[in-house]
Structure 1
Amino acid sequence: MPEWLVEEGIGETRAILVDDDAETILAARLCWHEPWRAGAVAQARLSHRRPGSRGGAVVLPDETIALVDALPPGLTEGARLLVRITRAALAEKGRFKLAQCRPAPDASPSPAPPLAQDLRETEFPVRVLGALARDFDKAGWDELVEQAQSGEVDFPGGRLTFSPTPAMTLIDVDGTLPLRDLALASARAIAQNLARLDIAGSVGIDFPTIEGRTDRQAVDTTLGDALAALPGGWRGERTGMNGFGFVQLVSRLARPSLLSRHAHAPARAAAFALLRQAERVSEPGILLLVAHPAVLAAIDSTFESELARRTGRTIHRDPRPTLALHAGFAQAIVS
């Protein structure tokens, strides 16, 4: 039976759903420790209500603004109410989408549940790993991170290119197979990588243009079967393939995907990857973090103190502007 493996890192918690042999990642989650994640409940103040609607905006305790829906009749601006976050804030190219929430009058203020607790609501068992466990490495975590960074995923006979845009996540299919075979193979790969990269919301797929209606229906069936076969299933709506090879998927969006994290906050993502690597340095000595200055700047004093506490080491930094963001490394040095 598949199993969720969880690493509770510095600044982020990572989870992968692995197969029975724990050698293949079936799905993944990446949770950065922001306060207003889905599931958090807070006391808020209604700052704006759209005329004639049940929507508006609220101010959360730290002055963060969130969009609110399903407001009760008669609630006026300035009123206090309890809200539950239903979707975290999302960074996008050129703009920032506010968090979304709904009234939760019967709840009590509480932070969002830890990722491990959230995953225990799924049908699969959850195991939290120790800091030095290598299960993620065995399953291919580094390869998955590279795919999230580049937006490119190869499959036999072709390649998928994922592009996050303000409107939707676009997936382009390219390859050397005959068009029908390429579309069928890519449909299976797309479904698998939606789960691996934790992509939800609105997704547009640009398949190769296929002339025959019967062939297009075969691709629709293959895609539908592949989505249904995902661990835990897939819940959403989709269109059939049109004459230009385009298909749209729509599902509930509650958090940023791995793709979004790496696309819109690459220095921060690289910083968390560096901290993960630093925790695993086994040689004795001072811990030296070598990275691009932007990556080191994303490691604030709280993160550095936690790294020192976990490893029992003194931390030194070596900023190198010529390094790529994800080319940083950690090593032990003699004082």
Structure 2
Amino acid sequence: MPEWLIERGIGETRFARIERGEIVEARILLDGIVPAGSELTARLQRSGMQLFLTVDGQQYLLPDGARGVADGGQVRAQVVREKIPGAEPWKRPLARVVQAPSAEPLPDGQELPLTVKNELDAAGWDDLIDEARTGIVQFESGELRIFPTPAMTLIDVDGTDDLTRLATSAARSACRAILRLGIAGSIGIDFPTLGGKQARAQVASEIDQNLQQPFERTMLNGFGFLQIVRPRRHASLLELAQDRAAFEARALLRRIAKDRTGPTRLVARPSVVAVLERQSDWLAMLARQIGGQVTLRSEATLPIHGGYGEAG
């Protein structure tokens, strides 16, 4: 099993798998989200053709049904897709009925304290978060622009190199970004249009060699489009970043927890301050960690990611 580093923060827990000093795979689990692999016991309910369970006020759909269990019967189920925040809040998490313990636990690794600089920082955690907030990933001969949509995550390739070299390099970079940013479900990559079948096959081969199984893909068509489908168990970092004010509020708390001690005033955009005002428990946790009272000040001229701390 690969070793993951785990950092339990304020409002979220961060997971990263590091190889040769670089984050190669990562995810963020928000507080209150029941992680994929967790097992639940609840009574089966039916609404029309849909079967679901309700646990702690959260409904879990059972798309594969519950053979042999009557409406109202108790079942044991495993979460297979977490609640996904973002553009479609009505989408419910998914579960499947299990007969015996089969939990698929979260990455198990070395747990890191929140309040000291650690291997996540050295491996480029802040750069990863910047990729999530901008959707832009640079590579040697160009860049990827990544757009999460309700239907799929779209990756656009841009660059000035020879088209075949650009496309093959972009394929490797796209595989790296998919793992680093936790992108799953349906993924569409728009490569430069390549004329020859051999060049298109070379790009597809790069996907096969650089993306971890399980996944399925199409061939690269004559218009430069290739589709990948990966099992979707949780939100990508890009999807989490779509709730921009909350995303930046948690990122600000992480910076302050590591860098400051004593009474501190958090200065941030009004939308970020509004999130923090609603999360008084987050501010109380930060106050305990830095050893001083935490207050807030709005500054409308700051960029949304530009919050900082000052002596309180």
| TM-score, shorter chain, exceeding 0.5 | yes
The within-5 A match list for 1:77-156 is: 77-93=71-87, 95-107=89-101, 118-120=106-108, 126-130=109-113, 131-156=115-140
8 A Cα contact 1:200 1:252, kept in partner: yes
Taking the aligned partners of 1:175 and 1:298, their CA distance within structure 2 comes to: 38
Of the candidates 216, 220, 226, which is equivalent to residue 237 of structure 1?
216
Inter-CA distance 222–42: structure 2 relative to 1 (3 Å threshold): closer
Q: Provide the residue aligned with 1:304 in structure 2.
A: 283
Query: Over residues 231-272 of structure 1, what are the superposed CA-to-partner deviations in whole Å (9 max), with x where a residue is unaligned?
Result: xx3311111111111111111110001111002x11111111
What corresponds to 2:305 in structure 1? 326
Give the 3-state SS of the residue equivalent to 1:82 in structure 2.
strand
1:291–1:318 CA contact under 8 A, matched in 2? yes
Aligned pairs for 1:209-288 (under 5 A) are 209-227=193-211, 233-263=212-242, 265-282=243-260, 284-288=261-265
Report matched runs for 1:3-18 at 5 Å. Answer: 3-18=3-18
Contact kept, 8 Å, 2:86 with 2:240, in 1: the verdict is no
Distance of 1:96 and 1:234 partners within structure 2: 30
Deviation for aligned residue 1:95? 4.8
- CA RMSD across the alignment: 2.2
Residue of structure 2 aligned with 1:71, choices 46, 65, 69: 65
Q: How many residues align?
A: 309
Q: How far has the Cα of 1:219 moved from its partner?
A: 1.1
Instruction: After TM superposition, give the deviation of residue 127 of structure 1 in Å.
Output: 1.8
CA distance 1:9–1:133, change in 2 (3 Å): same
Change (3 A) 1:241 1:67: same
Q: Structure 1: 5+ residue runs without aligned partners?
A: 121-125, 228-232
CA contact (8 A) 1:281 1:330 kept: no
Cα distance, 1:200 vs structure 2: 1.1
More off after superposition, 97-106 vs 249-258 = 97-106
User: Paired residue for 1:30?
Assistant: 28
Give CA-to-partner distance per residue, 1:102-133, whole Å, 9 cap, x none. Answer: 1234459xxx98xxx6212xxxxx22222212
Cα distance in 2 for partners of 1:294, 1:105 equals: 46
SS in 2 for 1:191: helix
Change (3 A) 1:63 1:95: closer
SS of 1:143's partner is helix
Give the deviation of 1:29 after TM superposition. Answer: 1.4
Report the equivalent of 2:161. Answer: 177
Q: CA deviation at 1:161?
A: 0.7
Aligned identity (percent) is: 36
**What is the TM-score with the length of structure 2 in the denominator?**
0.91
* Deviation (angstroms), 1:70: 3.1
